[in-house]
Structure 1
Amino acid sequence: MEASKVIHAIYTDDDVLMSAVKKVKAEKHHIEEIYTPFPVHGLDKAMGLAPTRLAITSFLYGCLGLAVAITMMNFIMIEDWPQNIGGKPSFSFLENLPAFVPIMFEMTVFFAAHLMVITFYLRSRMWPFKNAENPDPRTTDDHFLMEIPVHNNEAALQELLQETGAVEINIVEKDAH
């Protein structure tokens, strides 16, 4: 495991952080990560991050839930053990479809929601008993931290970050995983 240097620039205002990100990206520096106490809208676009594909997976999970609901209701209520409930015929799925719509909706939402939470945690590498990777506990309260790798340009980076309004600049050794 090799260690590399990174600069941690700390900001106290999200608007100052946003303009700092734009200036740092304009100078062609790579921003490794930004830690914030709350979501900063537009930060992903300013950092140049690719759009997420989580919405596509959510749609697919919803389709899976719908398919499971249809299969489950058809097997239980039509094929396996048909019952006359309230005078409804039990020999056709399509004739009972209006009664099955709420179940299909709920299973679609159930599968999409639960599988999206699992996908988000796996994609974010946030599994149980994992140690926190937050480099500064103040970023959970009211500070913002921008992490930039250093490649023999410490002085220029420090000067640029000072100009952008950073209230604190630290050079730290970071373990590469």
Structure 2
Amino acid sequence: MSSKVIHAIYTDDDLLMQAVKQTREARYRIEEVYTPFPVHGLDKAMGLPHTRLAVTAFLYGLVGLSVSIAMMNFIMIDDWPQNIGGKPSFSFLENLPSFVPIMFELTVFFAAHLMVITFYLRSKIWPFKEAENPDPRTTDDHFLMEVDVANHNVEEMADFFANTGAVEIKLINK
């Protein structure tokens, strides 16, 4: 089944923001917006839900902290206890001050690396993936709003987007 979308191209981010608001008020469904740089407030204007990446980063940090505690307890206390600088080697809590930098570093390491992997999986980015950018001008100086035609009148939609300040309007079969 082939779906039709309208590509409305804008040359100014303020016009794009106003057009997104007007498009949502007109109850048209915005598929995607392509911009050459992040536009502040665009996610809120599009009605996108808040991200849960901060929660996942916290959980990944807890995983890193747990791994570091388990690793140091096993290596420095259970498996190979050594007297380093006169520090006692029979208790994790007595060695805790010297373990804090390792715990911090592994917390940051796990959070950072697992967040990158999560971002790639969530964005469906993997090696050798073809770019999904519908118009190469959106990497330079144009903004593109992709709107689902669904059961709407195409001429009426084209007039609507022309009134919002679009410099170019195309009907595309996906």
Shorter-chain TM-score tier:
over 0.9
Q: What CA deviation, in whole Å up to 9, does each residue of 1:125-166 have, x standing for no partner?
A: 111111111100111111110000112421111111111111
> Counterpart in 2 of 1:49?
48
Q: What CA deviation, in whole Å up to 9, does each residue of 1:75-115 have, x standing for no partner?
A: 00111001111111111100110111111011011000100
| Identity score, percent | 73
Q: Which amino acid aligns with 1:75?
A: F
Q: CA deviation at 1:36?
A: 0.7
Q: What is the TM-score when the length of structure 2 is the normalising length? A: 0.97
Q: Does 1:153 align with 2:146?
A: no
Q: What is the TM-score when the length of structure 1 is the normalising length? A: 0.95
Q: What CA deviation, in whole Å up to 9, does each residue of 1:24-62 have, x standing for no partner?
A: 001111100001111111101100111111111111100
Q: CA deviation at 1:5?
A: 1.1
Q: Which amino acid aligns with 2:97?
A: P
Q: Does 1:116 align with 2:115?
A: yes
Q: Which amino acid aligns with 2:172?
A: V
> Counterpart in 2 of 1:28?
27
Q: Which amino acid aligns with 2:158?
A: Q
For the residue of structure 2 that corresponds to 1:34, the secondary structure is strand
How many equivalent residue pairs? 173
> Counterpart in 1 of 2:101?
102
Cα distance in structure 2, aligned partners of 1:123 and 1:25: 25
For the residue of structure 2 that corresponds to 1:122, the secondary structure is helix
Extract structure 1 runs of 4+ deviating beyond 6 A: none
**Structure 1 stretches lacking a partner, 5+ long:** none
